[in-house]
Amino acid sequence: MKALVLSGLESKNDIYAKVKDILEVEIGNQSYEMDWIDLTEKEIEYCNGCSHCSNIKPGLCAKNDDMQEIFPLMANSEFLIFLSPISFGGFNSELKKAVDRYSALGLPTYTIHRGELHHPPRYENPELFMSIGILEKENEKFQETFKLVSSRIAISCFAEREATVLLKKEQNHDSILTELKRGLLEMGLIS
Amino acid sequence: MNGVKKVIALTGSTRGLKTASDSMINYLAEKLEGENINLKKFRAYQVFKEEKQIESILGELEDSELILICSPVYVHSLPYPLISLMEQMAEKTGREFWKGKKMVAIIHNGYPEDIQRKAAITICENFAHEMGMEWLGGIGFGGSPIIDGRPLEEVGGFTKWMRKALDDISKSIKTGKGISEEARRCEKKHFPSIPLWILKIMLNLRLKSNARKNEIDLYARPYVKDREEF
Ligand SMILES: Cc1cc2nc3c(=O)[nH]c(=O)nc-3n(C[C@H](O)[C@H](O)[C@H](O)COP(=O)(O)O)c2cc1C
């Protein structure tokens, strides 16, 4: 089984290595093979809504950049993880540049999913979706918004189970481990 | 009291010059001009990679009283270039810079339901509070692809309530007030109450008939054959 981490977090952040090490062990223990993409090192253009992936060559993004190697990984992951510093309550721009290109992974057709109109997934839907947000400082409104954004993304990628993990920039290894395990437990991945 | 004389509008669309965001801002700019309020528009995707352009927006912001964000929803949030622009503006300034300024957001999207716009509006609100601005509120409109970059009047009945809401917003901008009850009433009336299942059938019929006509395979899987084969 495949897990994919899309990270908008710069590796120079102290918390980066801690989160990466823990995820490698904990997700590896559940027999997932994990791919980790550092988006800060990738050349990714903004989606210009050109409709190529919906109306011209469905499923194929017209932009020839680093997303072309990320799309197959996204299409094949049973477990999708988004990691990002929290930017005004949402994902930061580094993660968002990849997330905005998500349309290529959806069908242009419409369906009703959880009582709302959505585009169904073009490939198998990820079973699990987890987003990990890093807070600069305590901010309840940011936390609340981040949970909302995460749950909306989980719905639109048709994930079966989801979890949102909120971490603070200065958090130590043990408490990060506790929070990440809580997320995995919430999705029923560990008991 | 007339607190607002100059408005800086940031649009989030990345789709060029003829977009729903531009249609809305152009409509509002005309209304504001009638109130002697000057609106300057910047498209985030045209400026976010250029330091000089960002400095020039900040320069324009210095003597303006209100920042207006008009953006489509991209994947339940604001488009990447707009988020990047907001991050860079925040990085280059302190709360002192934004003190006394006000902010309004107009968020629009494809899907009809309010919940599809909620996160994007809240992110704008968070930005306003983080910068220390006065948040005057956010308003949202679904079904905006119908506008297709046309002037709102030309679109006709579909933009009737949107235009009424924008008329009201232009008045409340003039007096430095928030989004009024009247604008909220228009916002609620904007999208015709069509059951989702009918909307789904209509949208799929049009899509599939176009696909047949243009001989395209809507269900192609170019990035993978099968999960097992990967
Ligand atoms: C990359 C991308 C992502 C989008 N995501 C959403 C979405 O999550 N929800 C939605 O209702 N519409 C979504 N849309 C549709 C746009 O909000 C809609 O087409 C809007 O009318 C575009 O406005 P514009 O003409 O100003 O570009 C998305 C469009 C693009 C290009």
Instruction: Report whether pLDDT(B2) > 60.
Output: no
DSSP character string of A31-83 = T-EEEEEEGGGS--PPP----IIIIISTT--S--STHHHHHHHHHT-SEEEEE
Q: Which of A153-162, B105-114, B174-183 has the lowest mean pLDDT?
A: B174-183
B11 lines ligand 1 (CB under 6 A): no
The CATH number for A104's domain is 3.40.50.360
Packed helices B20-34 and B160-174: angle between N→C axes, nearest 10 degrees: 50
Confidence class of residue B225 from pLDDT cuts 50, 70 and 90?
Answer: low
Q: Which of B22, B23, B75 for a ligand 1 pocket mutation test, highest count of atoms within 8 Å of Cβ?
A: B75
Per residue in B4-23, is it b (16+ CB within 10 Å) or e — as a string? Answer: bebbbbbbbbbbeeebbbbb
pLDDT score of B1: 46
pLDDT score of A14: 92
The answer to whether residue A191 is domain-embedded is no
CB contact under 8 A, A122 and B219: yes
pLDDT score of B3: 81
pLDDT score of B224: 82
The answer to whether residue A45 is domain-embedded is yes
The answer to whether residue A162 is domain-embedded is yes
Phi, psi of A18 (to 5 degrees): -65, -50
B11: CA distance to ligand 1 center in Å? Answer: 13
- Give the count of domains, chain A: 1
CB contact under 8 A, B74 and A93: no
pTM above 0.95, yes or no: yes
Query: Model confidence over B53-99: pLDDT tens digits?
Result: 999 999 999 999 999 999 999 999 999 999 999 999 999 999 999 99
pLDDT score of B178: 85
A7: which strand partners? A38, A83
Cβ–Cβ under 8 Å, residues B47 and B79: no
B74 CB neighbours in chain A (<8 A) are: 47, 96, 100
Phi, psi of B36 (to 5 degrees): 60, 35
Average pLDDT value for residue range B163-190: 94
**Residue ranges with strand state E in B5-144:** 6-11, 38-43, 66-72, 102-108, 134-141
| Consecutive 10-residue averages of pLDDT for chain A (191 residues) | 97 96 95 97 98 96 97 96 98 98 96 97 96 96 98 97 97 97 96 85
Please tell me the distance from the alpha carbon of residue A119 to that of residue A108, in angstroms, as a whole number. 6
Between positions 11 and 70 of B, the ones with CB within 8 A of A are 13-16, 45
Confidence class of residue B230 from pLDDT cuts 50, 70 and 90?
Answer: very low
The answer to whether residue A93 is domain-embedded is yes
Place of tokens 């953006």: B71
| Ligand 1 atom nearest B12 alpha carbon | 26
The DSSP H or E segment spanning B188 is: helix B181-190
- Domain hosting residue A11, numbered range: 2-186
